[in-house]
Amino acid sequence: MRNLVRVSEVPMFYLSGIEHPAAKRNKAVKGAWRALDESSTAGLSMSQDFKFEITARDPATKARTGVLHTPHGTIETPCFMPVGTSGTVKSLTQEQLEQLGAKIILSNTYHLYLRPGLETIRAAGGLHKFMSWPRAILTDSGGFQVMSLKGLGRVTEEGYEFRSHLDGSKHFFTPEKAVETQLFFGSDIVMILDECVPYPASHEATRRAVKLTAQWARRARDHFLANRRIMVPEPSLGMPALYGIVQGGIDPELRRESAGRSQEIGFEGYALGGLSVGESKSATYDVTEFVAGLLPDNQPRYLMGVGTPQDLVEGVARGIDQFDCVMPTRNARNACVFTSEGRIVIRNARYTRDPGPLDPACGCFVCRRYSRSYIRHLFVAGEMLAATLASYHNLYFYLDTMCRIRQAIRAGVYGQFLSSARLRS
RNA sequence: GGACAGGUGGCUGAGCGGUCAAAAGCAGCAGACUGUAAAUCUGCCGGCCCAUGCGGUCUACGGAGGUUCGAAUCCUCCCCUGUCCA
pLDDT score, position A146: 85
Between the CA of A5 and the C1' of B41, what is the distance in angstroms? 44
pLDDT score, position A424: 85
Which nucleotides of strand B are protein-proximal, with an atom < 7 A from a CB?
27-41
Active site members of A: 140, 324
Q: What confidence tens digit (pLDDT) does each residue in A283-341 have?
A: 999 999 999 999 999 999 999 999 999 999 999 999 999 999 999 999 999 999 999 99
Nearest to A173 by CA among A189, A149, A206, A203: A149
Q: Helices (H), strands (E): how many in chain A?
A: 17, 16
Q: How confident is the model at residue A3 (pLDDT cuts 50, 70, 90)?
A: very low
Q: Rounded to an integer, what distance in angstroms lies between the CA atom of residue A324 and that of residue A117?
A: 24
Between the CA of A222 and the C1' of B18, what is the distance in angstroms? 75
- pLDDT surpasses 60 at A14: no
First CA to last CA distance, chain A: 52
Q: Rounded to an integer, what distance in angstroms lies between the CA atom of residue A118 and that of residue A127?
A: 9
Between the CA of A373 and the C1' of B61, what is the distance in angstroms? 38
Q: Rounded to an integer, what distance in angstroms lies between the CA atom of residue A98 and that of residue A93?
A: 9
Q: What is the mean pLDDT of residues A136-141?
A: 98
